[in-house]
Structures are given as structure tokens and as C-alpha cells.
Amino acid sequence: MPTLKESAEKFLQLKTIAVAGVSSTKKDAANYIFEKLKKAGYQVFAINPNATEIDGNPCYPNLASVPEKVDGVVIGTSPKVTLQIVEECAILGIQHAWMHQSFDGGSYSEEAEQFCKEHGIHLIPTGCPMMFCKPVDFPHKCIKWVLHATGKLPRTYA
């Protein structure tokens, strides 16, 4: 059983990552993740069916419309959209997904997690890439510590 750290490191070795759930109207978790990954040198694509641009970056309505092969997807949508995203991953052959989750429920969907298991998608069902993408900022170091200490961020998972 891999540790969360091992799974995060594997995910962060990917070169092309889509971030589903970025917002054109407010800064939320998906926007911050998008910006962090971009600054860290990843080729990152914003996904939102209701926007064509996010902070000067093109935004795509779905994963199929991204002009490059996507290696992995960070899901920062509401849980009711998460299953749709992982279903699209399966259709497109995207084998890595990360459901953003912090103090709240985030994007986690039990149904989507089961779908990933059944379709061979390597899933990180909890946590935030910003807790692992170097350099990790102080607030995310603290969040990671608190979530581990309270048991809301498991060290291992199936």
C-alpha cells in the first residue's frame, strides 16, 4: 500500500496536468493549484465549461478539448461533478487523478473513487497537491500537519 507522500511524488512527476474546477469569478482551491503548478514548471490546463479564459490563460470546457495529451488531472470541482471528470479520464486514457480535499469535503466522491478502482485510474482521493509541490509554502505545511494529526489525511490508503 503506497503512502500518500509516495503517491503525491509519483503524481508530481507527471509533466502535463489539467486542473478541473478553476473559476473565472473567484479565487478558489483549483485556481491556487493551477497557479502553483504553473509556477513550478508544469504544463497546466484549466478546465471549466463556463469559461474561456482564467487570468489570461486559455480555459477548456472539458478534458477532451485540451490540445495536448494530459497525464493527470487535479479535481477541484464540487463532488457532484467528480464522477463525470473521472469518467472522462477513463475515456481519454488519463490514468492519474487527484481529488482535492482539505478541511471540508472538497471534491471527494465515493462513487468516483470506486469508478477509478474499477477502471485502473491511479487516484489520490484526499489532500492537496500544494502540500507536496515544492517549494511547499508555510500555510500548506501547517494544513498538512493538522490534517495528519487529526486523522483527516491518511498516511496510506488502498
What integer pLDDT is reported at residue 27 of this predicted model?
84
Contacting residues for 60 by C-beta, under 8 A, at least 6 apart: 18, 45, 46, 47, 48, 66
Q: Which amino acid is at 53?
A: E
Asked whether 45 and 60 are in contact (CB, 8 A), the reply is yes
**Is the CATH number of domain 4-149 3.40.50.720?**
yes
Kindly list the domain boundaries of the chain, sorted by start residue. Answer: 4-149
Torsion of the alpha carbons at 59, 108, 137 and 23, rounded to the nearest 10: 30
Give the pLDDT band of residue 158 (cuts 50, 70, 90).
Answer: very low
pLDDT for the residue numbered 32:
94
Alpha carbon distance 130, 100 (integer Å): 10
pLDDT in tens, 100-142: 986 667 899 999 999 999 999 999 998 899 998 899 888 878 8
Q: Which residue has the higher pLDDT, 105 or 64?
A: 64
